[in-house]
Amino acid sequence: MTLDLASRTAEFARVVSMSAWAGPTGENISSNAGAATFMDWVDELKKSRKRMYIVGNGGSAAIASHAVTDFVNMAKISAFTLHDSSLLTCMTNDYGYEVAFARMLAMHAGEGDMLVAISSSGKSPNICNAVEGFRRAGGGKVLTLSGFKTDNPLRQLGDLNVWLDSDNYGIVEIGHQFVLHNLSDRIAAKLQAAG
């Protein structure tokens, strides 16, 4: 693997520009159609005064925090992460890490809420379980972001699924951040245009 900046930048551009977006049955859609669908979801979320939850582990948790900031500040929606250290360690200690987010979503999520689930590999059991727990709690739409293998479990669980064709954590993580930032920027631009 070449680590010089120019090569890495070119690889990042390739991975993001070739991102694969798919609907709930695996049908491929364009990134612009996927973004438009997501923006429609956010419009409905705002109208119904519902919430967005964003979950991830490690670097993906940091991406979730950054995305929440962008969605609250730029898109003007109610968005939250679920990695408060006291609550997360309580759920982990009492019930196990694999179900920690699912248990929290069971308490917080409701009909019409939205979940953004992020996992570079798409194989994190607690993130896949979070989606399933969100659905059991009656939650609404789910956006997943993953990378690595095309058939990863998380990619099969969302209403809209973004997959990046790389097995490099750094590129996948920054790619996920870029995609989420682009979505919040699109929403902010739409709000600004509407006055």
Rounded to whole angstroms, how far apart are CA atoms 44 and 69?
Answer: 20
φ and ψ at residue 20, rounded to 5 degrees: -100, 120
CA distance 65 to 85: 13
Structure tokens at 67: 């995305």
Angle between helix axes 100-108 and 85-95 (nearest 10 degrees) is 120
C-beta of residue 130 within 8 angstroms of C-beta of residue 55: yes
Give all domains of the chain, ordered by start, each with its CATH number. 29-194 (3.40.50.10490)
Tens-digit pLDDT profile for residues 45-75: 999 999 999 999 999 999 999 999 999 999 9
pLDDT given at position 1:
62
pLDDT digits (tens, 9 = 90+) for 96-125: 999 999 999 999 999 999 999 999 999 999
pTM of the model: 0.95
pLDDT tens for 131-175 read 999 999 999 999 999 999 999 999 999 999 999 999 999 999 999
